[in-house]
Structure 1
Amino acid sequence: MGVIKVGTSSWADQMLVRSGWYPRAANSPAGRLGFYAERFRLVEVDTSYYAVPLPETTEGWVAATPPGFTFDVKAFRLFTGHHTPVAALPRELRPAGAASRVRWRDLPTGTYDELWDRFHEALAPLAAADRLGAVLLQFPPWLARTEAARRRILETARRCRPYPVNVELRHSSWFAGDAAAETVTFLGEHGLGYVCVDMPQGHVSSVPPILIATTDLAVVRFHGHSTAWESGDKQEKFRYAYGAEELRRWSVLLRELAEECAELHVLMNNCCDDQAPRDAARLAELLDVAPLPQAARAGS
């Protein structure tokens, strides 16, 4: 069976910081990450979705975590086709006279290439310290299944290499009928990991929880089942607590999936207050996934 790592989709979300999950002594970004790393072996970086981090920032993440800890890094939203505030770009790369929000095709080729270079510079300290798991490409819910979309996925993934790439698709057309098998085959043939999601069903952005590994690294993200998925704000959208029986059933399925891959990353994204780390801890216990040993946490 492959190695299973469990964590959450952020350690710095403001709702989590305000929830009281962190002790008062963990009152700095490094302190909170260190506290988190004492409890989980894995975390998803979501701040990189909103802006490309500086290498100094990722070097700080390495310093705050022990050997054996893993970061899955979500790619900058501009790369995956999302509308991006110009203010999210480095000041010196903001195009003059641009609208308040841009997409990748709105930028000069040189600017777009430079953003990718800076993303790789941010990943380098994590990779050098053996802390980098995968780059997560979360494509927008309007990216329907077309040949042009497949080309876009491959081009974005190419720019992420040599790092492992896992892809989350959020339009139902990728999984309707026979398309599901074709989508999984497409990802596997191109060395791209499939991101399975557990999420509310019945929406255009809904995808079924297909548990399959297309590469040696499989990723499962848990969004919860809020009834306000498409109507609520961020807190309402992810307000969901997994029940004991729900987690028990998932633990069985995740063990089966771990038989198909070398490593399985399980990420709780029901990021409302401190629900994600609480559910992650319960699921880790069911999967017999322990925190890093005390000696490793101490850096010895």
Structure 2
Amino acid sequence: HPTKRESLYADLREELPKELEKKRNLYREQLPEDAVEQVWQRFHDALMPLHSAGKLGAVLFQFPQWFVIARKNKEYVLECRDRLKDFRIAVEFRHKSWLEERNREETIGFLEENGLPFVCVDMPQGFDSSLPPIAVATSKDLAMVRFHGRDPKAWTTKSETAAERFRYEYKEKELREWVPKIKDLSQQARETHVLMNNCYRDYAVNNARELRSLLEEE
């Protein structure tokens, strides 16, 4: 994703080339290499206290819709891993090309070979940003699932807050679909993290509580 210029560290903003002074959004390739190095290092250092206290499960990299399957993008995924080698990272894609039938084996193999957890998703279907709700553990250490809701209208409508986009409360039947999948993941990986991203009001908390009860039934 691009970064708003105002979000960049003040001292780094002052060192930007003049042609970037009036840019509202900045992309990685526009920044001087030393600025990129500084951003990564400061991000790493900010996470270290959580990691040292045993409170950092993983760093989740959610790549944007325009991040399609390609050699250069695979290389960038590996760069993210190498930049944060002190932490576990998990990878969530947002373009269908990664799991299209012709590419699925390649994608899963790439993640397995590099020990990178694939983030399984429950999300609206039928869009370029949609991935199928498959459950696969590509790392023996960590498996991860994220629930984004199933409202196709909210998924594509621009809203003032992120919560509006994920305004969806799962029905018990929909959560139950994932029970065998999550249990299977837990047999494949040492840890399984399940995250409710339907962050509207108390929807996520309620669904998390309900899903936990379903998992404890058997």
TM-score normalised by length of structure 1 = 0.67
% identical equivalent positions? 43
Q: Distance in 2 between matches of 1:141 and 1:167?
A: 13
Task: Quote how far apart the aligned CAs of 1:287 are.
Answer: 2.1
Matched to 2:10, the amino acid is R
Question: Is the Cα–Cα contact under 8 Å of residues 226 and 236 in structure 1 kept in the other structure?
Answer: no
Indicate the residue corresponding to 1:212 in structure 2.
136
Query: Contact between 2:125 and 2:152, CA under 8 Å: does it hold in 1?
Result: no
Number of the residue aligned with 1:51: none
Encode CA deviations 1:241-285: one digit per residue, 9 max, x unaligned: 110121122122211211111000000001111111111111122
What secondary structure does 2:59 align onto?
A: strand
**Aligned-pair distance for 1:154?**
1.1
Contact 1:223 1:268 in 2 (8 A): yes
Match of 2:216 in 1: 288
Cα pair 1:172 1:206 within 8 Å, conserved: yes
1:219 maps to a residue whose letter is M
Residue identity matched to 1:262: R
Contact kept in structure 1, 2:91 and 2:119, CA below 8 Å: yes
TM-superposed deviation, 1:156: 1.8
Q: How far does residue 232 in structure 1 lie from its aligned partner after superposition?
A: 4.0
* Aligned-partner residue type, residue 184 of structure 2: E
What is the CA RMSD across the aligned residues, in angstroms?
1.5
Give 3-state SS (helix, strand or coil) of 1:123's partner: helix
Structure-to-structure mapping, 1:1-300, within 5 angstroms = 82-94=1-13, 95=16, 97=18, 98=20, 99-215=23-139, 216-228=141-153, 229-233=155-159, 234-288=162-216
4+ residue runs of structure 1 moved beyond 4 angstroms?
none
Q: Give, as a single letter, the amino acid of the residue that structure 2 aligns with 1:127.
A: H
Give the secondary structure class of the aligned counterpart of 2:58.
strand
Of Structure 1 and Structure 2, the greater helix share is in: 2
Amino acid paired to 1:176: E
Long gaps (5+) in structure 2: none
1:100 deviation in Å?
Answer: 1.3
> Using CA pairs below 8 Å that are at least 6 residues apart, which structure has the higher relative contact order?
1
CA distance in 1, matches of 2:74, 2:121: 20
Post-superposition offset of 1:96: 5.2
* Number of residue pairs matched by the alignment: 208
Query: 1:101 Cα deviation (Å)?
Result: 0.6
